[in-house]
Structure 1
Amino acid sequence: MTSESNGSSVKQPGSQTLARGLQALELVATTPDGMTIQEVADALGVHRTIASRLLTTVADFRLIKRSTDGKYRAAGGLAALARDLYAGLRDEATPLLRRLANSLGASVALFVGERTEAVAVAVVEPKNARYWVSFREGGRHPIDRGAAGYALLAGQPPLPGESSRVTDARRDGFVLSYGEVEPGYWGLGVPLKQPANEPAGCLTLITASEELARAAIPEMIAAADKLSGGAT
């Protein structure tokens, strides 16, 4: 007598290995300080040898790399994938970001929402400013904090129990934050009006000057409207 188990949740060896490899990649990519082999093994609930093999395989594809301190961190291949994934939006936004950065004298970026994170897919720094805040393309932080995170959530349909910061950002068309991602720095986030099948996006300015952040609001909103197709 045989029985069928089409609804079984037991994974085949190949799919289980793939799932663990993707979990290892996600763990490392979302931990800015990096993770050791043992930390990954503990998080996945597997033996250190298995974790080492998974990390080595992912590193072979240049998605992560092992640093001199023995920890694995996100590598250039991961940023390249992000650039390719959002190539159209990124290419359209970059000239506008360049004009904004030079006009405002501050770093500006295009962020997109990826599940629980805000990810910078394009970053432009001003050419002629005496000083500015620098941050890297491909950088990410939790989506539930900071100007970029609030703006990304504001670009999505309202959710029960959402933060008042998100509700206000949706109403006002912008949101300011201070010290929530980087201590001592102001963020200005403006949601983009994205099609329903596209990830949430926003324009973000980062500066040490509250005055500059507040003065930039009209220009940032106008730029977001243009990128969203709201201006001719």
Structure 2
Amino acid sequence: MKSERSTDNRDIKSRSQSLDRGLQVLEMLAASDTELGVRDLARELGIAKSIVQRLLNTLVDRAFIEQEPQSRKYRIGSKSFEIGAGFTRSGSLAEICLPELEKMAKAHQLNCYLGILRDSEALYLATIQGSGPIAIQVSPGDRIALHTTALGKALLLDMSDAEIRNLLTASRLTRRTASTKVSVPALIAEIRKAEKHGYTLSLGENIIGIYSFGAPIRDKTGRIVAAISGALPQAMMQRKALPQLGEAVAAIAERISQRLGASSRNLAASSRAPAAAKFVQAAGRA
């Protein structure tokens, strides 16, 4: 695990080295599945343990990280969570989306999600627990694969074949279930079909027995800035009802997009083909 370093050409003298190192410590702790010690962090950063210890002391004092009493190692603290939560609260995107997601969860017994593209993954900004039997296993700030999820696929809808290929091949396409598509050409073909209907599908591709529906959110320029999705167990619905639920998720995404200033000509609905059922059938066979 290596901390990502800045690659810009700005003069290092124009930035705070201590702050840069402190932020790298936070990034490393956030990315780690286990608590890290002074020696671990010093080795990764390539700096003296005494410097790392001063950084850790400051971060602990400000509650950005916490020290585990027994192991004396460190993990992310409550203040880091508050800062991250502030990101989702501060923008008009979250303010507009959350009430709509809550309505969608209630009306269709869906677990609902809002996410954005970050590097070669989707980053969750919000999750809403529906009234159905699925328990949400992800939280705001978690990342998820693009190729296995309806939300991830929705974020790819406007990209060219080359852009999708470059993005998906930048990371290994893992097979989450027997239904997961790990062929980039097959995924591109599915996304091209999804463009015509305004929504994407994941039919047991991320979690066995879970169907999800995704749709893009556009800003006033028509650019995709985020995506929403809804998920429910396969057993809760008949396959012939899939197109109607996909259309419902797409309609909610369009309503959010309009509130962000997107015009009707920029929305997926304006070019949606009527044969949505054929799209569902094709996705299931792919």
TM range (shorter): 0.7 to 0.9
- List gaps (5 residues or longer) in structure 2: 1-8, 167-183, 259-263, 268-286
**Residues 105-114 or 158-167, more deviating:** 158-167
Deviation of the 1:134 alpha carbon: 1.6
Partner of 2:22: 21
Q: Is the 8 A contact 1:190 1:204 kept in 2?
A: yes
Which residue number corresponds to residue 45 of structure 1?
Answer: 46
Residue 105 of structure 1 deviates from its aligned partner by: 0.7
Q: Tell me whether 1:192 sits opposite 2:208 in the alignment.
A: no
Alpha-carbon separation, structure 2, partners of 1:178 and 1:56: 47
User: In structure 1, how many angstroms separate the alpha carbons of the residues matched to 2:155 and 2:40?
Assistant: 31
1:202 is aligned to 2:223: no
Does residue 1:154 correspond to 2:157, yes or no?
A: yes
Name stretches of at least 5 consecutive residues in structure 1 with no aligned partner: 1-7
1:84-99 to 2 correspondences below 5 Å: 84-86=89-91, 88-99=92-103
Question: Partners in 2 of 1:80 and 1:102 — Cα distance?
Answer: 23
Superposed CA deviations along residues 37-88 of structure 1, whole A, max 9, x for unmatched, are 34333332223333333344344444444456634136422333322443x1
Q: Residues 164-185 of structure 1: CA distance to partner in whole angstroms, max 9, x if unpaired? A: 5366336243333366666664
Is the alpha carbon distance of 1:147 and 1:21 closer, same or farther for their aligned partners in structure 2, counting shifts above 3 Å?
farther
User: 2:105 matched to 1:101?
Assistant: yes
Cα pair 1:118 1:141 within 8 Å, conserved:
yes
Counterpart in the other structure of 2:83: 78
Q: State which drifts further: 191-200 or 212-221.
A: 191-200
Question: TM-score when scaled to structure 2?
Answer: 0.61
CA distance in 2, matches of 1:13, 1:209: 55
Name the CA distance, whole Å, in 1 between partners of 2:40 and 2:202. Answer: 33
The answer to whether the Cα contact below 8 Å between 2:215 and 2:249 also exists between their aligned partners in 1 is yes
Give the conservation status (yes or no) of the 8 Å contact 2:29–2:36.
no
Indicate conservation of the 8 Å contact 1:97/1:109, yes or no. Answer: yes
How far is the alpha carbon of 1:123 from its aligned partner?
2.1
User: Comparing both structures, which one devotes a greater share of its residues to helix?
Assistant: 2
How far did residue 27 of structure 1 move? 2.4
Per-residue Cα deviation, 1:10-46 (whole angstroms, up to 9, x for no partner): 7349622222222222222234x24403433333222
Aligned counterpart, 2:200: 175
Residue 133 of structure 1: aligned partner: 135
| Change in 2 beyond 3 A, CA 1:142/1:77 | same
Tell me what 1:111 maps to.
115
Q: What TM-score do the two structures reach when normalised by structure 1?
A: 0.73
| Percent of aligned pairs with the same amino acid | 22
Residue of structure 2 equivalent to 1:5: none
Distance 2:223 2:49 in 1: 38
Counterpart for residue 3 of structure 2: none
Given residue 133 of structure 1, which amino acid in structure 2 is its aligned partner? A
Coordinate RMSD, CA, aligned: 3.6
